[in-house]
Amino acid sequence: MDENKPISRRNFFGVSAAATAALAVGGNIQSVFSKETACPYKAPPINGQFPDDFWWGAATAAYQVEGAANEDGRAPSIWDTFSHTPGKVVNGDTGDISCDQYHRYESDIKLMAELGIKHYRFSISWPRIIPQGRGKVNDKGMDYYKRLVDTLLKHDITPHATLYHWDLPQVLQDKYKGWESREAVKDFGDYATAVVKNLGDKVGHWMTLNEISTFTYNCYGVNQRTAHAPGINLNSKKEFYQVVHNALLAHGTACQAIRAASPRKSFVSVAENYESYVPVFETPETIEAAKKAFMREEKNGGIIIPILTGKYDEGWLQDVGANAPTILSGDMNIIGQPLDELGFNCYMGNYVRAADNAKGYEVLPFFPKYPRGNTNWLSIVPESIYWGVRLVSEAVGATKLPIFISENGCADGSVMNSNGEVLDIDRIMYYRNYLTHLHRSVTEGYPMKGYIPWSLMDNFEWQQGYSQRFGMVHVDYATQKRTPKLSYQWYKEVIKNNRVM
C-alpha cells in the first residue's frame, strides 16, 4: 500500500485493523507499514486480503433446518419433546417442518453456490441415524446425508459435519438420563463410528459436539429452571460438573472413533463457544490478565482447557473445590485427544483488566444498555474474535493448532419491506466488525483457516422458536420461500473479493 495515498473506504478496515494490531504487539503504526512486528508469527502482507485458501462458508444444524421430524424412520429427540411441551418455546414453535431442508436441500445448495461459499457446516441428527439411540442404523436416515454430501460436492462445496448439535435421542434420556450417565459416552462413540463408516469417504472435516458449554449450562440448572432441552434441575453443582465431564468424554471418545473409522485422513475438531477475554487496554499487564481469565474462568477452565490440554485448569479446580467432577483413571487422556483443527463459535466476549486480587484480573460487567442489537443475550464485542484466536496460542500455547470460526452472527431486527427486501444492515455491521478483527489475526499470522458464520438461513432458534432470525437468507415459514437478504449480497462481495468489504 502506498502510504501517501488517501485511504479509500475499501482499504480503511484493513488499515485500521492492522494499525490496532501494531499497537497490540507493542509497536506503532509506522511499524505496521514497515511490516515489523514483535509477533512471533510470520506476518503476511497487510493489504486487507485474506489468504487465497481462506475458507468462506455458512453453518446450520439438523434440528434447526431439516424438518421431516417423523419421516423415514427418524425418532424423537429431546428437542422434539421439549418444543412440543407447552410453554417451553416462544409461540409453541417446533422443528417439525422448520426450513424443510430435508426435502429442499438441492435448492438450498444452489443458494450456497450462488453465494460463493465453498464450505458448508451442517449437523447430523443422531435420532435419524440410530433412532433407538444405540443399535440398528437407519439406512434411510443415512441416505439423506449421502445425498446432501454428494450434492454439496457436486457444487464444489466442502462438507463439515457436526455429530451432535443438541438433538439427543429421547429414548436415551428416558433410559439413563442422557448426558447424566456415562452410558451416553459409549453410545455417542458408536454412533460416531456408524456415521464415519458411512460418510467418511466423502466427508473429511468432523466436529464432535457443538457448544458443550451451551448444552450443559443452558440445559441443566441447579435448583433453577433452564431454557433448553431437556430442561433438567440437578441437586448440586457436583452433579452438574459430572454432566460436563461426560460431555467431554463423549468428545474425546468420538475423536478416537472418527480416526478409527475414517477411510481417509480426517480433520477432527470440536465447535465450542469458549469465552474470549479482551484486554480493555492493550498493555502488557492487561493482556496478562486476559490470559489468566481465559484459562481459569468458569466455562473455559472446565471445558476448552481440558479439551486442549488434557487437564482441568488448576485455578478452575480451586474455584469449584469439592464440586469438581469425579475423574476416573484414563479420563483425561480421552478428553485431551489431539485435535486437527478447532472450531470457534464466536458471538460475544468479555472485557478484562488487571486487578490486585488473588486471581490477578477482573472481568468487567456489562451494563444494561450495552449494545446488543436485536439479540438480548449478545453483547457485541467485535475484538473477541481476534482475542479468542490469539489466546489459544498465547495462553494455552497451542500455537500451531489451526482455528476456524465455526459460527458468528446475530439476529437481525429488520422486516421485509414492501419491495420484498430484507435490508439487514445490523447484520452487515456486525459481520463487518467481527471480520475486521478476524482479519487482524490473519495479519499477525495466527493459524486462522476460515469463517463459517451462523447462519445460511433463518431457522428454528431453540427456545426463541422462529421469532429470532439469524440467517442471510430470509425464510417465509408459511410458503418456504427463500429470499436472500442484503447481508447475503454483502457476503457474496466479501467472498468474491476475498476481503472485508
Q: For ligand NOJ, which residue of 77, 151, 170, 210 counts as binding (CB under 6 A)?
A: 210
Nearest to 142 by CA among 191, 87, 85, 109: 191
Name the pairing type of β-strands 481-484 and 473-476. Answer: antiparallel
Q: How far is the CB of 47 from ligand NOJ (least distance, A)?
A: 32
Active site residue 211: yes
Q: For ligand NOJ, which residue of 83, 173, 246, 345 counts as binding (CB under 6 A)?
A: 345
Compare residues 64 and 246 and give the one whose CB is closer to ligand NOJ: 64
Compare residues 18 and 472 and give the one whose CB is closer to ligand NOJ: 472
Compare residues 210 and 266 and give the one whose CB is closer to ligand NOJ: 210
Compare residues 39 and 385 and give the one whose CB is closer to ligand NOJ: 385
Compare residues 236 and 376 and give the one whose CB is closer to ligand NOJ: 376
Cell reading at 389: 484466536
Half-sphere exposure at residue 218, Cβ-oriented, CA atoms within 13 angstroms:
13
Nearest to 226 by CA among 187, 275, 296, 179: 179
Instruction: Give the total of residues touching ligand NOJ (CB under 6 A).
Output: 9
Compare residues 394 and 407 and give the one whose CB is closer to ligand NOJ: 407
> Cβ neighbours of residue 120 under 8 Å, at least 6 residues apart?
57, 58, 59, 60, 109, 112, 152, 157, 158, 159, 160, 456
Tell me which residues in 436-455 interact with ligand NOJ (CB under 6 A): 454
Q: How far is the CB of 46 from ligand NOJ (least distance, A)?
A: 32
Q: How far is the CB of 273 from ligand NOJ (least distance, A)?
A: 6
Is 271 in a helix, a strand, or coil? Answer: strand
275 binds ligand NOJ (CB under 6 A): no
Distance CA 236, CA 72 (A): 40
CB–CB of 58/452 below 8 Å?
yes
CB–CB of 140/129 below 8 Å?
no
Q: How far is the CB of 119 from ligand NOJ (least distance, A)?
A: 16
Compare residues 18 and 456 and give the one whose CB is closer to ligand NOJ: 456
Q: Is 330 exposed, middle or buried (0-12, 13-18, 19+ CB in 10 A)?
A: exposed
The residue type of 123 is S
162 binds ligand NOJ (CB under 6 A): no
Q: Which of 275, 341, 407, 444 is catalytic?
A: 407
For cell 441428527, the residue is 125
Active site residue 66: no
Nearest to 77 by CA among 140, 167, 166, 165: 167
Q: How far is the CB of 281 from ligand NOJ (least distance, A)?
A: 30
Tell me which residues in 393-422 interact with ligand NOJ (CB under 6 A): 407
Per-residue x/- mask for ligand NOJ, residues 359 to 398, rule CB under 6 A?
Answer: ----------------------------------------
Distance CA 331, CA 358 (A): 30
Q: How far is the CB of 32 from ligand NOJ (least distance, A)?
A: 34
Cell reading at 216: 450443559
Q: How far is the CB of 344 from ligand NOJ (least distance, A)?
A: 12
Q: How far is the CB of 149 from ligand NOJ (least distance, A)?
A: 21
470 binds ligand NOJ (CB under 6 A): yes
Q: How far is the CB of 223 from ligand NOJ (least distance, A)?
A: 25
Per-residue x/- mask for ligand NOJ, residues 77 to 116, rule CB under 6 A?
Answer: ----------------------------------------
Contacts by 219-228 with C-beta closer than 8 Å and gap 24+?
Answer: 220/179, 227/462, 227/463, 228/82, 228/166, 228/462, 228/463
Determine phi and psi for 50, rounding to 5 degrees.
-90, 160
> HEC states along 159-211?
EEEEEECCCCEHHHHHHHCHHHCCHHHHHHHHHHHHHHHHHCCCCCEEEEEEC
Q: For ligand NOJ, which residue of 167, 180, 187, 211 counts as binding (CB under 6 A)?
A: 211
Q: Which of 66, 180, 211, 272 is catalytic?
A: 211
Tell me which residues in 23-82 interact with ligand NOJ (CB under 6 A): 61, 64
Q: For ligand NOJ, which residue of 80, 190, 444, 461 counts as binding (CB under 6 A)?
A: 461
Q: How far is the CB of 275 from ligand NOJ (least distance, A)?
A: 14
Compare residues 59 and 352 and give the one whose CB is closer to ligand NOJ: 59
Cβ atoms within 10 A of the Cβ of 85, count? Answer: 14
Strand positions, DSSP E, 408-462: 448-451
Compare residues 162 and 242 and give the one whose CB is closer to ligand NOJ: 162
Compare residues 108 and 461 and give the one whose CB is closer to ligand NOJ: 461
Distance CA 102, CA 431 (A): 28
Handedness of CA 118, 195, 186, 265 (dihedral sign): negative
Contacts by 315-322 with C-beta closer than 8 Å and gap 24+?
Answer: 315/359, 320/237, 320/241, 322/238
Q: Mind telling me the catalytic residues? A: 211, 407
Residues of this chain that bind ligand NOJ (CB under 6 A): 61, 64, 210-211, 345, 407, 454, 461, 470
